[in-house]
Structures are given as structure tokens and as C-alpha cells.
Homo-oligomer: A and B are copies of this chain.
Amino acid sequence: MRFVLGVLLTVSVFAQDPQFTKDDKLLKPENYREWIYLSTGLGMVYGPARESSASQNPPFENVFVNPKAYKAFLATGKWPNGTTFVLEIRASASQGSINKGGHFQQERLRYEVEVKDPRFPDNWAFFGFGESDASAQAIPKTAGCQACHSKNGAVENTFVQFYPTLLPVAKAKGTLKPQPE
């Protein structure tokens, strides 16, 4: 029993596929900082609920994807089931140590996760995590993130147009959706 528990723990902490509770809550992806980095935005303005870039220190947003999905994307230009994106939101600062201008990253404020899994309507679901959350329920399909990703994502529900190392792959594989102007 002790052995089985040990194995389960090992798998649940380090598994690359998203882990769910019985009622389909997503468990916090603990080790996403060791996944594949895709890109960073600073104060991007692309939706109504976002912080304005007019702020002196707008947030940074770092995007990571699980290595298994990344490798599949390089090979096919498509996302497999189990694809997990993490959007990590961090505070920014301008003055610190020897730095006198521009922006560098500070503490994590929160993170949001997007998962491709057939248990969800349209296969894609979104989850928001605060610092103390161990799991999160899918954000209702009516929320803005669903509608915007579905309408504007360059490949399926994902913003490959903002990931400079993946965009050429999608172009080469012919998996880009027609873009709205």
C-alpha cells in the first residue's frame, strides 16, 4: 500500500498529462516552470477584463506548454488531447538592483490554465488558479476567454499568432485558421 501510494504520488506530481478530480476539477500543475516556454507579453490589451497597458507597471504574462504537447505540435502543427497551457501572470517593476528603466519580472500574481480534453464541450476548457488553490473548476463556457480563444486563436483555440517559434510550424503544416482582420 505504501509502495502504491508512493508510485501514485510520483505520477501525480510529475505526470505531463492534466490531472483531474472525480468532479472534473483540474489539479494545480506544479512543475510548469520546467515545461516549454512559448512567449511573454507585457500589458497586452486583448480583452475587456485585462489590466490596461496604460499602467506604469503593467503585468507580464508568460506562456508555457507541456513538453508532450509541444513535441506533437512540432511534428503535426496540431494540439493532442492532454495539451496544457499555463498563462503565468507576474508583477513588473522598473527600478531595482542596477536596472533603471524598462521592466523586469517580480512575484507571481496568479495563473490560468487551458486544457484540451474530450470531457469538456468543444474539447478546450479554462481554469484560474490563485496562489492557494490546489484545484480549480472549469470556467463556464459562457465566459469571455472561451469565446475569444475560439474565435481568434490561430490554431484551434490557441494564440499561436503570438508564439514566434510555433507560428512558422503552423504555417509549414498548414494548420493556421483563417484570421479575422
Contact = CB atoms under 8 A, between A and B. Distances in A.
Interface of A: 1-3, 6-7, 10-11, 13-14, 16, 31, 33-34, 36-37, 39-46, 52-54, 58, 60, 62, 64, 67, 90, 96-108, 148, 152, 154, 159, 161-162, 164-165, 179-180
A7 B41 CA distance: 27
A43 B102 contact: yes
Given A3-B10, A41-B105, A104-B162, 12 more contacts: A3-B13, A6-B16, A33-B37, A39-B104, A40-B40, A44-B104, A46-B97, A46-B99, A53-B101, A97-B154, A107-B164, A108-B164
Contacts of A106: 164
B36 A105 contact: no
A145 to B, nearest CB: 13
B64 A40 contact: no
- Copies of this chain present: 2
Nearest to A163: B105
A100 B67 contact: no
A98 B147 CA distance: 13
A108 to B, nearest CB: 7
B103 A42 contact: yes
A90 B3 contact: no
A91 B10 CA distance: 31
A42 B1 CA distance: 36
Nearest to A43: B102
Contacts of A64: 37
A94 to B, nearest CB: 8
A1 B10 contact: yes
B102 A33 contact: no
30 contacts: A6-B14, A7-B34, A33-B37, A34-B36, A34-B67, A37-B62, A39-B104, A40-B62, A41-B99, A41-B102, A41-B103, A41-B105, A42-B42, A42-B102, A42-B103, A43-B101, A43-B103, A44-B99, A44-B102, A44-B104, A45-B99, A46-B97, A53-B101, A53-B102, A53-B103, A54-B101, A96-B162, A97-B179, A98-B180, A105-B164
